[in-house]
Amino acid sequence: EAQVTQNPRYLITVTGKKLTVTCSQNMNHEYMSWYRQDPGLGLRQIYYSMNVEVTDKGDVPEGYKVSRKEKRNFPLILESPSPNQTSLYFCATGPLDNTREQFFGPGTRLTVL
Amino acid sequence: AQSVTQLDSQVPVFEEAPVELRCNYSSSVSVYLFWYVQYPNQGLQLLLKYLSGSTLVKGINGFEAEFNKSQTSFHLRKPSVHISDTAEYFCAVRRGQAEKLVFGKGTKLTVNP
């Protein structure tokens, strides 16, 4: 079954404590991306990756890091989380063909106290 | 910069009534257009997409959308809604060959009995 998985699904943490949210896909997609969703703001892109070892900033990259060491994984790293990073995070993947459709993971709800 | 405007943040309707969710975009070049649905506590799921060809696009769950290039619109319609259609709907645009998917802020559709 084609899947995009995220872990954890829910996380409550404190300011400054480093955390990683994992994203994994089994569809052999080249493109992977992270979004955050906030009420009234829709989805905003944080980072994306076109292939292994290729990453680039989206609209709101401050305070986040990513890596793409393997095609299937695209972890999102918050080195020093702050309360304004409390949000719902989605990983998305897609092929680099003309459809450019994106498949979304189930989301990770992060609360930073 | 490219933008997507969803004109209504909330749309309440009664069951079996028709509904139209509006989406306008700004772009001077050709675009690819998408509608995604997010059911409560879930990720985003593709409803339909316009890549080229016929301007009337049919999607899942009885939804359809019409691409209007002169009005730069891509409104989503359903002739008769069900309670189960209650969800948040996002319009998204990808410009040309660019990878970035730009989302609108979403429209919450509430279907009442």
Tell me the three-class secondary structure of A80-111, residue by residue. Answer: CCCHHHCEEEEEEEECCCCCCCCEECCCEEEE
In whole angstroms, what is the distance from residue A8 CA to residue B37 CA?
22
* Residues in chain A within 8 Å Cβ distance of B51: 98-99
In whole angstroms, what is the distance from residue B29 CA to residue B38 CA?
28
Given B9, B32, B44, which is nearest A104 (Cβ)? B44
Alpha-carbon gap: B96 to the closest alpha carbon of chain A (Å): 10
Q: How confident is the model at residue B11 (pLDDT cuts 50, 70, 90)?
A: very high
Give me the mean pLDDT over the A5-16 stretch: 96
More confident residue, B100 or B50: B50
Q: What is the DSSP letter of A73?
A: B
In whole angstroms, what is the distance from residue B34 CA to residue B94 CA?
8
CB contact under 8 A, B51 and A31: no
B29 contact partners, CB below 8 Å, separation of at least 6: B95, B96
**Lowest mean pLDDT across A48-62, A99-113, B56-70, B97-111:** B97-111
Residue A101, pLDDT score = 81
Distance, C-alpha B16 to centroid of its chain: 19
Phi, then psi, of A83 in degrees rounded to 5? -55, -30
In whole angstroms, what is the distance from residue B81 CA to residue A90 CA?
27
Residue A98, pLDDT score = 67
Return the structure tokens found at B13: 């309707």
Give me the mean pLDDT over the B78-96 stretch: 92
Residue B51, pLDDT score = 86
Phi, then psi, of B84 in degrees rounded to 5? -70, -10
- The secondary element (H helix, E strand) that includes residue A34 is strand A31-38
More confident residue, B98 or A12: A12
Cβ of B6: how many Cβ atoms within 10 Å?
20
In whole angstroms, what is the distance from residue B93 CA to residue A85 CA?
25
Report CA-CA distances (Å) from B44 to A51, A90, B3, B16, B31: 23, 9, 20, 24, 20
CB contact under 8 A, A48 and B100: yes
